[in-house]
C-alpha cells in the first residue's frame, strides 16, 4: 500500500459504525410486478431527514438477548447474528409501521387482531411472549450489506433484509419517525426521485436499481437462499462538477477515491480535464492527453513519478501534442530523468522524443527514452525504437533527500506481451502501485489485435501480473485510460474471467456456424456489444480464434 508520507491529505479517522437493520417488505402488484414498501422520514430526523426509506433502525441489546431468540423461528442455516438482525427488523417494522411478521403457536400468521392487542410503545418481546406469538425470522432473508460512507458524521453498519408482506395486513406509520407509507415499484421510485419528487439517499437508490432486475417477489427470494448478500458496499465520494458524487466498489471512480482519500474525505475532483495534472499521491501525478475517443476513453493518461528532490520519470508521454508535452514538462519542474513507453501504439509513444528534446532545449540533460522496440508485427503507425531497451525485472530508481532523510522511488519493469508484442508494465515498489499501460483498463477491455496482439500471451501476462500483485501486496492499478483501479488482484481476476467467458461465446459461435465468417461469429459472440463496435471487436475475436485453434491443435497431438 502507498507510504503514509506520500498521501496527499492528513489522515482523519472515520466515525465508528453502529449496528442497525433495515427490512424491505415486498408484495406483488395485481399485474404480478414487484412492489416495495417505503416511508418518509421525519423532517426533524437526525439521519436522512425527509428521505423515503425502508423501515428499520438501530439494533438494540434486547434484540440479541436469549429471550428474544427464544421467541424466533429460524432457518437451520441462519447464524445467531443474522437471527438477531432479523429480529431487529421485525421489531422495527412493527414499531414504525404496525406490520407484524409473526405466527401464532398453531402456525397461522398473526393478523389484525394480534396487532391491535399490542402496544407499539411498550416492550415488544414481552408482549409477543404473553400472546404466544413466534417471530418469523425464518421468513426474513439477507439481500445486501451496507456500511455508511466514511465521511458521514453518523455511520451505521446495516444489513438490508427482505420479507414478504404478511397477507391481510396494512402498514400504518407511527407519525413520529415515519410518515406516508407507500407501495411503489422500484423503477417508479427511481423515476420520481429523478424528477425531484421522491428524495432518497444513495444506498436506497442503488438498492432499488438492483431490484429492477427482478420481476416478482418470489424471483427475488429465490436469489437469496444461500444466506449470502447479493452485494456488500461501503461507498466512497468525490467531487464531480463541483458536487458530491458517490460510488460503489464496482463503479470506475471507486478505486481512485480509495487511493487518494483512503479515509473517505470528499476532496478529490473526478472531472476529466487536460489543462493541469491531477495529484494522486505526493509522488504520482496524472496528466490526461486531449485525445478522447472510442479507443482512448477520456484520453491517454501520462504519469509522472517522483518529486522535486528526486526528479521525475514520465510514463507514456502520449501523442506528440505540443501543449500536452509542455504541461508534462512544467508539471515535472523541467526535471525529467527518464521517459518510459509501455508500448508503441500511437496514443502512447510518439510524444517521447519531442519531450526529451524539450528538456534538452531548456538546458537540461536529455532524458533517455526507454521501453521495448516494436516487433516486426507492429503496424506502421506503431513503429517505436527506444534509446535503450528495458530488461524484464530491471529497476529504475530515483533518489533524493526528503524531510526525514533519503527518499527512493523504484519502478520495476514487467514484460507483458499480449496487447502489443512490446508491451510492458511498471511496478512502483515502495507504494504498491502497478502502471498497467493498456494491459488492464478501467471501464473496458483492451483490444487484442493480431498479429502484434496475441491472446495467449495476453492471458499469460495477466497471470503473471496477478501473481505479482498477490505476492507483493499491490493494491492499485493505474491504467493508461480511465481512473485508478482498486483491489488489484480482484480486478485482474475479473478481467481474466471476462475474457474466458467471451472466449466461450466465441467457441459456441464457431460450433453453431462451423463454416461461418468472422462477421457471422462476431454477431453471435458479441451480441451484447453495440453493432457499431463490432469492427473493433472483430480484432479481439480473431485473437480468440487463433488461441482456440492453437489449443485444438495442441490437444489433437495428444
| 8 Å CB contact between 427 and 434 | yes
d(CA 206, CA 453): 38
Helix residue spans in 389-512 (DSSP H): 455-472, 488-512
Both 332 and 214 in a single domain?
no
Contact residues for 203 (Cβ-Cβ < 8 A; gap 6+) = 146, 158, 160, 233, 235
Instruction: Answer whether residue 494 is part of any domain.
Output: no
Copy the grid coordinates of residue 297: 476513453
Distance CA 396, CA 252 (A): 30
Q: Do 214 and 280 fall within a single domain? A: no
Contact present, 450 and 422 (Cβ < 8 Å): no
Q: Is residue 411 part of a domain?
A: yes
Question: Is the pTM of the predicted complex or chain greater than 0.75?
Answer: yes
Per-residue pLDDT of the chain (558 residues; tens, 9 = 90+): 899 999 999 999 999 999 999 999 999 999 999 999 999 988 877 777 889 999 999 999 999 999 999 999 999 999 999 999 999 999 999 999 999 999 999 999 999 999 999 999 999 999 999 999 999 999 999 999 999 999 999 899 999 999 999 998 999 988 877 888 999 999 999 999 999 999 999 999 999 999 999 999 999 999 999 999 999 999 999 999 999 999 999 999 999 999 999 999 999 999 998 999 999 999 999 999 999 998 899 999 999 999 999 999 999 999 999 999 999 999 999 999 999 999 999 999 999 999 999 999 999 999 999 999 999 999 988 999 999 999 999 999 999 997 878 999 999 999 999 999 999 999 999 999 999 999 999 988 999 999 999 999 999 999 999 999 999 999 999 999 999 999 999 999 999 999 999 999 999 999 999 999 999 999 999 999 999 999 999 999 999 999 999 998 887 754
**Domain ends where: 188, 220, 252?**
220
In 10 A of CB 442, how many CB atoms? Answer: 23
Same domain, 200 and 279: no
Domain count, the chain: 2
Assigned domain for 546 exists: no
DSSP for 478-537 reads: EESSSSPBSSHHHHHHHHHHHHHHHHHHHHHHHHH-TT--HHHHHHHHTTTS-GGGHHHH
Specify whether 22 is located in the same domain as 130. Answer: yes
DSSP designation for 297: B
Query: How far apart are the C-alpha atoms of 384 and 361, rounded to whole Å?
Result: 22
Q: Do 315 and 389 belong to one domain?
A: yes
Q: Give CA–CA dist 420/423, Å, rounded.
A: 5
Is 249 inside a domain boundary?
no
Please indicate, yes or no, if residue 141 is contained in any of the structural domains: yes
Q: Which of 374, 556, 549 is nearest to 456 (CA)?
A: 549
Judgement on whether residues 216 and 290 belong to the same structural domain of the protein: no
The answer to whether position 302 is within a domain reads: yes
Enumerate the β-bridge partners of residue 17.
Answer: 155
CATH code for the domain of 440? 3.60.15.10
Residue 93 domain flag = yes
Full residue range of the structural domain in which residue 133 is found: 17-220
What is the domain-level CATH number for residue 83?
3.90.79.10
CA distances from 13 to 10, 233, 261, 280, 453 (A): 10, 19, 12, 20, 46
325 and 428 fall within a common domain? yes
Amino acid at each position: 500500500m502507498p507510504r503514509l508520507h506520500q498521501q496527499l491529505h492528513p489522515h482523519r479517522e472515520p466515525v465508528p459504525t453502529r449496528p442497525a437493520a433495515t427490512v424491505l417488505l415486498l408484495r406483488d402488484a395485481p399485474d404480478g410486478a414487484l412492489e416495495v414498501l417505503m416511508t418518509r422520514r421525519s423532517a426533524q430526523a437526525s439521519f436522512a431527514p425527509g428521505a423515503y426509506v425502508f423501515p428499520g433502525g438501530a439494533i438494540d441489546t434486547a434484540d440479541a438477548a436469549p429471550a428474544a431468540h427464544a421467541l424466533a423461528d429460524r432457518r437451520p442455516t441462519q447464524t445467531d447474528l443474522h437471527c438477531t438482525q432479523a429480529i431487529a427488523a421485525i421489531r422495527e417494522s412493527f414499531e414504525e409501521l404496525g406490520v407484524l411478521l409473526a405466527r401464532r403457536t398453531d402456525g397461522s400468521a398473526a393478523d389484525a387482531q394480534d396487532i391491535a392487542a399490542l402496544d407499539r410503545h411498550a416492550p415488544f418481546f414481552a408482549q409477543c411472549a404473553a400472546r404466544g406469538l413466534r417471530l418469523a425470522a425464518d421468513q426474513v432473508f439477507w439481500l445486501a450489506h451496507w456500511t455508511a460512507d466514511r465521511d458521514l458524521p453518523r455511520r451505521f453498519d446495516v444489513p438490508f433484509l427482505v420479507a414478504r408482506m404478511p397477507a391481510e395486513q396494512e402498514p400504518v406509520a407511527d407519525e413520529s419517525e415515519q410518515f406516508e407509507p407507500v407501495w411503489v415499484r422500484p423503477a417508479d421510485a427511481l423515476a420520481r426521485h429523478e424528477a425531484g419528487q421522491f428524495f432518497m439517499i444513495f444506498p436506497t437508490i442503488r438498492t432499488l436499481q438492483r431490484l429492477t432486475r427482478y420481476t416478482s417477489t418470489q424471483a427475488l427470494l429465490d436469489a437469496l437462499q444461500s444466506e449470502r448478500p447479493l452485494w456488500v458496499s461501503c461507498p466512497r465520494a468525490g467531487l464531480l462538477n463541483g458536487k458530491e458524487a458517490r460510488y460503489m466498489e464496482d463503479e470506475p471512480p471507486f478505486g481512485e477515491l480509495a487511493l487518494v482519500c483512503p479515509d473517505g474525505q470528499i476532496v478529490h475532483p473526478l472531472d476529466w480535464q487536460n489543462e493541469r495534472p491531477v495529484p494522486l499521491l505526493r509522488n504520482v501525478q496524472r496528466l490526461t492527453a486531449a485525445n478522447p475517443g472510442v479507443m482512448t476513453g477520456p484520453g491517454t493518461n501520462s504519469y509522472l513519478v517522483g518529486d522535486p528532490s528526486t526528479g521525475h520519470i514520465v510514463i507514456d508521454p502520449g501523442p506528440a501534442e505540443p501543449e500536452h508535452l509542455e504541461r508534462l514538462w512544467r508539471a515535472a519542474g523541467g526535471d525529467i530523468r527518464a521517459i518510459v513507453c509501455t508500448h508503441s501504439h500511437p496514443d502512447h509513444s510518439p510524444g517521447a522524443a519531442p519531450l526529451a528534446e524539450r528538456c534538452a532545449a531548456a538546458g537540461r540533460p536529455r532524458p533517455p527514452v526507454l521501453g521495448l522496440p516494436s516487433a516486426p508485427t507492429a503496424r506502421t503507425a506503431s513503429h517505436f525504437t527506444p534509446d535503450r531497451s528495458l530488461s524484464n525485472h530491471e529497476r529504475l530508481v530515483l533518489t533524493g533527500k526528503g524531510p526525514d532523510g533519503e527518499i527512493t522511488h523504484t519502478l520495476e519493469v514487467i514484460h507483458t506481451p499480449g496487447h502489443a508484442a512490446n508491451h510492458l508494465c511498471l511496478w512502483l515498489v515502495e507504494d504498491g502501485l502497478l502502471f498497467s499501460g493498456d494491459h488492464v483498463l478501467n471501464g473496458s477491455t483492451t483490444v487484442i489485435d493480431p498479429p502484434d496482439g496475441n491472446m495467449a500471451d495476453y492471458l499469460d501476462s495477466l497471470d503473471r501480473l496477478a501473481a505479482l500483485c498477490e505476492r507483493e501486496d499491490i493494491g492499485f492499478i493505474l491504467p493508461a485510460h480511465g481512473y485508478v483501479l482498486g483491489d488489484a488482484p480482484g480486478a485482474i481476476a475479473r478481467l481474466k474471467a471476462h475474457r474466458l467467458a467471451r472466449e466461450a461465446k466465441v467457441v459456441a459461435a464457431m460450433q453453431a456456424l462451423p463454416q461461418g465468417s468472422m462477421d457471422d461469429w462476431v454477431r453471435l459472440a458479441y451480441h451484447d456489444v453495440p453493432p457499431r463496435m463490432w469492427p473493433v471487436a472483430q480484432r479481439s475475436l480473431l485473437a480468440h480464434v487463433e488461441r482456440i485453434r492453437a489449443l485444438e491443435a495442441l490437444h489433437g497431438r495428444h
